[in-house]
Every structure is written in C-alpha cells, then in structure tokens.
Amino acid sequence: MKSGFTIGRLLAAALPVLLCVAPTAQGQDMDGKALFQKNCAACHQANGRGIPGAFPALAGNAFVKGRPEEVAAVLLKGRGGMPDFSASLSDRDIASVLTFVRSNWGNGAAPLAEPEVQALRVSLQVDPFNNGQLSNKH
C-alpha cells in the first residue's frame, strides 16, 4: 500500500505542472506568441525570418506592417500557398497572433482587436468561426 500512496502523492504533486504544459483545450484563450508557435512557426520560423524561396519572412515585412485588414484577410481567406485559418482560429486568436507578429522582429505596427477581425470576416463573407466543429480544414 505504501507504493500506491507514493504514486498518488507524486501525481498530486505533478498535476499543477501537467496542467501548465498540457495542450490548450478548445475555447481556451492562448496568447499571440503561443498561437504563432502552434500555427505559424513551422513555415515562417520562430524568429519570423521564414525560409527563403519557400515561406516569406514576417520580420521587417512591409505587408505585415501595412494595413491591418489586408494582413487579417490572409489569415481569413488564405493567399498563394498560405492556407486560411478561418475555421481553426477565432477572431480573437487571429487578432492576437497578428498583434504578436506586427509588434515583433522590428515590425512595430499597430495591434488588431477582435472586433476588427469580426467585421472583416463579415465583409469578406467568411463563415463565422465555429470552434472547429465539423470542420475538415487543418
């Protein structure tokens, strides 16, 4: 019985740590950096420099620093080889990840807010975010 008690104590001690590193549940907010790491860094790299000839750099990119609605439209509709993230990222997530990208690696552009992305989604006639329910994208 002593070993069961020890395992139970270990699990109880480890639970807070496991909760901190566990994957984020659907509907739970993530910050822009975490969203970037999860959704963008594989192509655009953790440093925002991309892969020359394959994936464009976001660091110091004039388009990224430009009109926020044009940048958000890429995430909502895709462009070239870039997929759209309209079904996999909420308006809040899109605003968060773009705010991160637009304020890092020397970009220094204005942040985006969830209502801006929401309005753009409507004007572009992109389906409302449904938290990934019944989606076959990504």
pLDDT digits (tens, 9 = 90+) for 50-87: 999 999 999 999 999 999 999 999 999 999 889 999 99
> Residue 118 is part of a domain; what is its CATH number?
1.10.760.10
pLDDT of residue 133: 57
Note whether residue 17 is domain-resident. no
Cα–Cα distance measured from residue 136 to residue 53, given in angstroms and rounded to the nearest whole number: 28
Note whether residue 87 is domain-resident. yes
Note whether residue 137 is domain-resident. no
Note whether residue 78 is domain-resident. yes
| pLDDT beyond 60 at 113 | yes
> pTM value?
0.73
Mean pLDDT of 12-16: 35
Note whether residue 49 is domain-resident. yes
Full residue range of the structural domain in which residue 32 is found? 27-123
Displacement of CA 91 from its chain's centroid (Å)? 10
Structurally, the chain folds into a number of domains equal to 1
pLDDT of residue 29: 52
Burial class (CB in 10 A: 0-12, 13-18, 19+), 83: middle
| pLDDT beyond 50 at 28 | no
| pLDDT beyond 80 at 111 | yes
Mean pLDDT of 111-116: 95
pLDDT of residue 38: 95
| pLDDT beyond 90 at 130 | no
CA triple 127-88-103, angle to 5 deg: 105
Note whether residue 132 is domain-resident. no
Mean pLDDT of 18-43: 67
